[in-house]
Structure 1
Amino acid sequence: MSATTAGRPRDPEVDRRVLRAAVTRYADHGWAAFSVDAVARLACVGKAAIYLRWPTKEALLGAALAEGVPLVLDNDTGTLRGDLLALARQLLVHHLGAEGQALRRLGVEYLTIPDVAQTWETHRRSRLEAARAMIRRGIARGEIRPDTSPTLLLDALCGGVMIHTTSTPDARRGDIDVDGYAERLVTFLLRAVE
């Protein structure tokens, strides 16, 4: 038998379960309590199956975050308002899931986790690049004042989303109206820069 046909093929469903479990475990307990053993129990797989795919817990967490935490996309809707609404919705959905808690933890812990800092930097950069592109287009189209600070506008949008989602009690998080809150937040912010 050749090396490519030896053994049983890997089950992609196992990969998905393990990666979801890794994001959930990290989101719920942080790096100090993150282990291959804990992820294996949560995913209902053996540790050997995990180690066949990811040789270390750092590699496992890095893969889980890269796969399970979507990057912020630059949606060019044709208007700054539409772009900011799309961004606000993405961020709200993102922060309401386990992946949002995982990235909030990562924002605090990433320097202490070997080989995972790059995942954090990729997500941070994607968010900033997407958002800055939206604001530059809005300025170029004359939708907002040319002296608008992209940093302050993004701080207000991202901070508003994060504070809203993290300060809402767990029992009420499912009641958050993503579209309604995004609409109110973007309307409020654009009034300040138009």
Structure 2
Amino acid sequence: MDPVTHPRNPAGRPRDPDVDRRIAAAAVELFGRDGWASFSIEAVARRAGVGKASVYLRWKSKEALLAEALTMRLGPISDVDTGTVRGDLVQLVRQLLQQYVGEHGGAVIRLGLEARDIPELAERYDSLARQQILAARAIVHRGIDRGELPASTSVTFLLDALCGGAMNHALTTPPALRAALPETVDDYAERFVDFVLVGVLVDAPAEQ
């Protein structure tokens, strides 16, 4: 007897990019606000105004959802060559501050604290972190090669000061002043880089 065959179901409607964006935005917002412990498909669906089925149609798990949502919404720190080490470092600090005080600042900060404990996200976070570290180190090495920074400059110490300072500024600004932070990013980045570079150049050993 010939096996019974069934007609194939017609292809479904293509995914709606707007729904994808709404779900991703909701996922990043909820993660930034509440952290991983409270993160769920149900909460994301409610926030995005869609059914759970719409989320599961796109992502098989909450880990996969958050990993892709963060990739979609958060931009990497890039190596910008302005022609001077001061300009490059200002751009670095500006990018960091824009991440920390921008729309998804809460998610950026939580990502650094929680990523390694979240399945499917740790590897992506480590890759992103390596990319950012390499970009930052390239800026300092380029400054040393140009003779703008002393050969004795500690790349690690300089970047710890700048990157750590940028995060600390975003985290410790009083709540009443946080709304104005995005407007002060450019000015703060320039003044902060100048402050740090003074210490680097003053402490440089004099040439014999």
TM-score by length of structure 1 reads 0.94
Counterpart of 1:142 in structure 2 is 147
Residue 185 of structure 1 aligns to which amino acid in structure 2? F
CA contact (8 A) 1:103 1:120 kept: no
Structure with larger Rg: 2
Counterpart of 1:94 in structure 2 is 99
What per-residue deviation string (whole Å, max 9, x for no partner) do you get for residues 62-119 of structure 1?
Answer: 0011111110011011111111111111111100124332132222222321111012
Counterpart of 1:124 in structure 2 is 129
Structure 2 residue ranges without an equivalent (≥5):
1-6, 202-208
Structure 1 residue ranges without an equivalent (≥5):
none
Which of 163, 166, 171 is the equivalent residue of 1:158?
A: 163
Which of 44, 53, 70 is the equivalent residue of 2:49?
A: 44
Counterpart of 2:3 in structure 1 is none
Residue 167 of structure 1 aligns to which amino acid in structure 2? T
Counterpart of 1:181 in structure 2 is 188
Aligned positions of 1:8-157 closer than 5 A: 8-157=13-162
Identity of aligned residues (%): 52
Looking at structure 2, the residues matched to 78 and 143 of structure 1 have their Cα atoms a distance apart, in angstroms, of 11
RMSD: 1.6
Residue 131 of structure 1 aligns to which amino acid in structure 2? A
What per-residue deviation string (whole Å, max 9, x for no partner) do you get for residues 152-174 of structure 1?
Answer: 11111111111111111233112
Looking at structure 2, the residues matched to 173 and 123 of structure 1 have their Cα atoms a distance apart, in angstroms, of 26
Provide the aligned length of Structure 1 versus Structure 2. 193
TM-score by length of structure 2 reads 0.88
Looking at structure 2, the residues matched to 122 and 172 of structure 1 have their Cα atoms a distance apart, in angstroms, of 33
List, as ranges, runs of 4+ consecutive aligned residues in structure 1 with deviation greater than 3 Å. Answer: none
